[in-house]
Structure 1
Amino acid sequence: MKQAIYRTHGKADQVVELIELDPQPLERGQTRLKILRAPINPSDILQIAGNYGSQPALPAQIGLEGVGEVMEVHGPGLGIGTRVIVPNPPGAWATEKTVPSAGLVPLPDADLDQLAMLIVNPATAYLLLTKFVDLVEGDWIIQSAATSAVGQMVTQLAKARGVRIASVVRRSSAIEAVKTAGADAVLLDGPDLTQQVTKELDQAPVLAIDAVAGETFGRLIGCLQDSGTIVLFGNLSGQDTYVPDQTVIFRDIKMRGFWLTQWLQTTSPKDIGRVFGELTTLVAMGQLHSPVARVYPLEDIHKALSHAMRDNRAGKVLLAPNGL
Structure 2
Amino acid sequence: MSIFRSRLHLPNVVAAYVDIPEPPPPAANEVLIEVLYAPVNHNDLYLMSGNFPYHPAVPAVLGNEAVGRIISVGAGVSQVQVGDYVTPPLYSGTWRERMIVPAEGLFALPQEADLQQLSMIRINPLTASLILSEYVDLQPGDWIVQNAATSGVGRAAIAMAKARGLRSINLVRQSRQIDEIKAAGGDIVLLDQPGAAAQAAAQIGDDKVRLALDGVASSSTARLIELLSPGGTIVGYATMSGQKSAPGDLIQMMFKSISGHFFYQNRPQFRSKIPALLREAAQLVAEGKIVTPVARTYRLSEISQAIAHTQAGGKVLLEIAEKGAF
* Same fold, judged at TM 0.5 (above): yes
- What fraction of aligned residue pairs are identical, expressed as a percent? 36
Q: Which amino acid aligns with 1:211?
A: G
What's the offset of the Cα at 1:158? 1.9
Q: 1:140 Cα shift?
A: 1.7
What is the aligned partner in structure 2 of residue 145 from structure 1? 148
> Does the CA-based 8 Å contact 1:11-1:48 persist in structure 2?
no
Give the aligned partner of residue 241 of structure 1.
246
2:259 aligns with 254
Q: Which of 289, 292, 296 is residue 290 of structure 1 equivalent to? A: 292
| Greater mean alpha carbon deviation, residues 232-241 or residues 141-150 | 232-241
One of 157, 162, 166 as aligned partner of 1:154: 157
1:266 to 1:129, Cα distance in 2 relative to 1, 3 A? closer
- Aligned pairs for 1:16-95 within 5 A: 16-25=15-24, 26-77=26-77, 78-95=80-97
> What amino acid is the match of 2:118?
L
Residue 218 of structure 2 corresponds to 214
Change (3 A) 1:146 1:36: same
Deviation at 1:20, TM superposition (A): 0.8
**CA distance 1:245–1:235, change in 2 (3 Å):** closer
Seen in structure 2, the aligned counterparts of structure 1 residues 11 and 2 have a Cα distance that, compared at 3 Å, is: farther
1:116, 1:205 → 2: CA distance?
Answer: 32
Q: 2: CA distance between counterparts of 1:145 and 1:173?
A: 14
Q: Return closer, same or farther for 1:121/1:70 CA change in 2, 3 Å cut-off.
A: same
Deviating more after overlay: 183-192 vs 110-119 = 183-192
C-alpha distance after superposition, 1:104-160 (max 9, x if no partner): 222120221121111011111122222222222322211011111111111122223
Quote the offset at 1:209 in angstroms: 0.8
Please, which of 100, 103, 114 is the counterpart of residue 102 of structure 2? 100
2: CA distance, partners of 1:76 / 1:11: 45
Number of residue pairs matched by the alignment: 317
Q: Which residue of 2 aligns with 1:319?
A: 318
Taking the aligned partners of 1:188 and 1:268, their CA distance within structure 2 comes to 35
- Aligned residue among 276, 279, 285 for 1:277: 279
Unaligned runs of 5+ in 2: none
Q: Distance in 2 between matches of 1:273 and 1:163?
A: 23
SS of structure 1 residue aligned to 2:209: coil
In structure 2, do the counterparts of structure 1 residues 4 and 190 end up closer, same or farther at CA, with 3 Å as the change threshold? same
Amino acid across the alignment from 2:51: N
TM-score normalised to the size of structure 1?
A: 0.89
Inter-partner Cα distance in structure 2 for 1:233 and 1:5: 27
| 1:210-243 Cα shifts (integer Å, max 9, x gaps) | 1111222122112111111111111122132368
The 1-side partners of 2:88 and 2:130 are apart by 20
Gaps of 5+ in 1: none
Could you say what secondary structure the match of 2:295 adopts? strand
Matched letter for residue 207 of structure 1: L
Q: Distance in 1 between matches of 2:251 and 2:319?
A: 51
Distance 2:285 2:185 in 1: 18
Contact 2:214 2:236 in 1 (8 A): yes
Aligned to 1:195: 198
Q: In structure 2, what is the Cα distance between the partners aligned to 1:171 and 1:287?
A: 23
CA positional deviation for 1:317:
1.5
Q: Which moved more, 1:59-68 or 1:25-34?
A: 25-34
Q: Identify the match of residue 125 of structure 1 among 113, 124, 128.
A: 128
CA–CA separation in structure 1 for the residues paired with 2:11 and 2:106: 32
Supply the RMSD in Å over aligned alpha carbons.
2.3
| Counterpart in the other structure of 1:15 | 14
2:126/2:274 contact within 8 Å kept: no
